[in-house]
Amino acid sequence: MSTATISPASMQPALYHAQTEWTPFPGVLAVLAVLGLSVGLGIAFFLAGGVLSDPSLDWLETDREMPQQVMLAGQLVIQLVSVLLIWWVAGWFGGDRDGVLALRAIPGGAATVLKAFLLLSLISGTFTIFALTFAREDILTDLAPMWPLMQGEYWWLIGIVAVFGAPLSEELVFRGFLQSALANSAVGFWGAALLTNTAWTALHAGYTMTGLADVFIAGLIFSWVLWRTGSLWVPIICHGLYNGLIFLALSVMDMPEGLPGTAF
């Protein structure tokens, strides 16, 4: 039985080792290419789906919105394409893709995942309580755009996007591929983690500063559990569970009127 643990007090060595032939500069270019192509194909899907669902093109008017199902399906396309592309790119130099992306078996199994998620819940939960106390409007403003989607007919599709698509695509691209390429340099793992999480946080541009801080903190926790366990599956699962909690909270909460992005 594995004795690996994610306890800070443990004397067990960290299990992460970057196994990639990618170096920082080509790795960054590869990520930009993957994200650019994924977004480009997603936009093409948005436009094609919008035309098919509403040939009148009324949704192009500034006071109209693209049909929810098209918008969410397009987001899912972006996530799926990014997963396929980064999987392909990971093996560019003939390396083992599972090794490059740290898709290794989880040491300690479900117990390790549970410890990691409890750690994430403790730290992020503490930050959320602090934010709700001192910056409540920021938190609600960040959640507001998702709330109308949760009340719509395609609420289940946003669940797939948030709970499965986002964790898998974002973790593979950023903490799986990019972090390994950056760690394979003089900055080491933690320099790579700071750079990777800054880039990942930038992906959430549009959030309030409170929301961006929350994202960055969560990203550092994901990097830490990757470092301790050596398996990207742990951050992927924790990321999905974390988004799932937000999804459940949005499904039962009432959003105050007048916040940006709401349908009021």
**What is the token pair recorded at 121?**
């819940």
> Look-up: residue for tokens 């650019």?
36
pLDDT in tens, 161-205: 999 999 999 999 999 999 999 998 889 999 999 999 999 999 998
pLDDT in tens, 205-230: 889 999 999 999 999 999 999 999 99
For the chain, the 3-state helix, strand and coil shares in percent, each to the nearest 5, are 70, 0, 30
254 pLDDT tier (thresholds 50, 70, 90):
low
CA atoms within 13 A on the CB side of 261: 17
- CA–CA gap between residue 100 and residue 148 (Å, rounded): 39
**Would you call 42 helix, strand, or coil by DSSP?**
helix
> Look-up: residue for tokens 């899912």?
76
Q: What is the DSSP letter of 161?
A: I
> Look-up: residue for tokens 């366990």?
229
